[in-house]
Structure 1
Amino acid sequence: MAEPFPENWSTALCLVAHPDDPEYGMAAAVARWTSQGKRVVYALATSGEAGIEGMDPTEAGPLREKEQVASAKVVGVDEVEFWGFPDSEIFDTPELRAKVAETIERVGPDVVLSLYGGPEWAPGFPNQRDHMQFAQAVVAAYDSLDRPPRQLYCNGPDATHAVDVTGFVEAAVESLSCHQMYLEVLDPQTPVPDQARATVERMTGGVDGFAAEQATGFTLLREAPRR
C-alpha cells in the first residue's frame, strides 16, 4: 500500500538522464509542489542529442535543451542544468557519480528524485540502458555522501509513496507537449497533444492502495538517518 509522499520539505532535486524524462512520470507531481511554493531543480546528464532520428546531434542537442527548459517552466521549474554527458552512452562511472554528488551538495535538496533502474517497467516493456546506468550512479553517489538528503526516491513501478495530482494533469500534458519536435519524429502519425495526453494519463492513472484517482507514484530507495 502506497503512503502519501512527505510534504515537510522545501527543495527537491530531480536527477534524470535525458530531456523529457521528468515529463514522462513526474511533471504532474512537480506542478503540484511548485504551486505550493516548493523549489524543484532539474539536472540532466545529457542534452538528448541522439534522440531525434535523422537530425544531426549538434542541431538536436540545443533544440532538445530548449524544449526541456520550456517544458520545465510550464510546471514551475526555473532551474534546469545540463551536464553534457554523451546521449546513449551513459555509464555508471566515477565521473558521473562525482557529478551527481557535487550537484546534490551544491543544490542542497531535502529530497532527491531519480529514474527507475530496474530492467523492465512491466513484462515485455524493457527499461533503457541509459536509465539503468544513471539510476545506479545516483544511488552510489547518494550512498557516498557524508550528509545525504533526507530521502532518495525513483519514479517507477511498485510505488511505496504517492502524490495526489488531481488538478495538475493538464499542466503535465502541456509540459510534455513542449517536446514537440522530439514527439513529432517519435510518432509522426499521432498529434503531439494526443501523444502527451495518453502518456500522462497512463502515468497518473492511480496507484494501488492510494485513494486518489489521479496520482504519481514514487519508490523510496534510501532514507538518511535522522540527525
Structure 2
Amino acid sequence: MAHPDDVDFGVAGTIAGWTEQGVEVAYLMVTDGDAGGFDDGITRAEMAVLRRDEQRSAAKCVGVDDVRFLGYPDGRVEATLGLRRDIARVIRQVRPDRVVMPSPERDYERIYPSHPDHRAVGAAALDAVYPDARNPYAFPELLEEGLEAWTAREVWIVGGPTLNRYVDITAHFERKLAALRCHATQTAHMGEGELEGMLRGWLSSNAAAGGLPEGSLAESFQVVNTA
C-alpha cells in the first residue's frame, strides 16, 4: 500500500479473517505517511516515525507482525522502474501466493481512493507481480542479491474497477475498527462514533452490492488470476 492506514481502511477485516485461518501476511508500505496528519507542531520526520509506529500497532490488531517500509516521499510517488524493482524485491523475499494492492485506475464516482500515490503504487505493484518478480532476467541485481524469481498466483485490487469479490467481515469489524483507531494522527480528530459510522456506511454498501444478507459488512476487491 502507499501509506500507513491504507491497508486498514481497505482490507483489515479481510486480513483478520485470513490470519485467523493461519495465513501468513506481510505488509509493505511504500511511504511513511510523512505528509499526513493535522498537527503543525511536529516535523515531517517526526510524523513519519509516528505513522510507522501506528501502522505496526494496527497490524497487530489483525494478527500481522511483518511490516515493512520503503520510505518513498509521501505525496510524490511515481510508478518508476525503481519502485517496481523495490516491490519485486519484497515479492521475491516474501514469496506470496496473493498480493493485495490499490487500484491503478482513477475512480471518477468516488475520487478519494484515487490519490496519486495509490494509483502509482497500484501500477508499480501490478507490474512487479507481472512481469518483474517472475522474470529471472528482469532486474538482474535481484538475482545477485540471491533472490530467485517468484510467481504470485493472484492479485486482489482494493476497490478495483470491476469488483468481483465481496468478503463478509461482519465478524471482524471490531478488529478493523481497532486497527484504524491505532492511526490516531489520521482519525483522532473525528467525533465520537464518526469513524465507526463512516465505516459501517461503506461496508454495508459493499455487502449490499455483493448480495450478502442484510446487516452484513463487506470489503470489496477485483481479484485477478496472475498464475
TM-score higher than 0.5: yes
Cα deviations by residue, 1:130-177 (Å, 9 ceiling, x for unpaired): 111111101111112234211011110542112221211111111101
Partner amino acid, structure 2, of 1:194 = G
State which of 29, 46, 54 in structure 1 corresponds to 2:31: 46
Q: Alpha-carbon deviation of 1:209?
A: 3.7
Give distance in 1, aligned partners of 2:198 and 2:68.
Answer: 24
More helix by share: 2
Counterpart of 1:70 in structure 2 is 57
More strand by share: 1
Q: Alpha-carbon deviation of 1:221?
A: 3.4
Runs of 4+ aligned residues of structure 1 deviating over 4 Å after TM superposition are 123-126
Counterpart of 2:98 in structure 1 is 111
Establish whether residue 94 from structure 1 lines up as the match of residue 97 from structure 2.
Answer: no
Report 1:142-221 matches (<5 A).
142-144=129-131, 145-146=134-135, 147-157=150-160, 158-184=162-188, 188=189, 190-191=190-191, 194-205=193-204, 206=207, 208-212=209-213, 213-221=216-224
Give distance in 2, aligned partners of 1:121 and 1:75.
Answer: 31
Structure of higher CA gyration radius: 2
Q: Alpha-carbon deviation of 1:207?
A: 5.0
Give distance in 2, aligned partners of 1:82 and 1:123.
Answer: 28
- Check conservation: 1:121, 1:156, Cα contact below 8 A: no
- TM normalised by structure 1 equals 0.83
Using the aligned pairs only, state the percent identity: 30
- TM normalised by structure 2 equals 0.83
Give distance in 2, aligned partners of 1:86 and 1:175.
Answer: 23
3-state SS of 1:26 partner: helix
Q: Alpha-carbon deviation of 1:116?
A: 1.8
Q: Alpha-carbon deviation of 1:128?
A: 0.5
Alignment: residue pair count = 204
Give distance in 1, aligned partners of 2:13 and 2:112.
Answer: 23
Partner amino acid, structure 1, of 2:168 = D
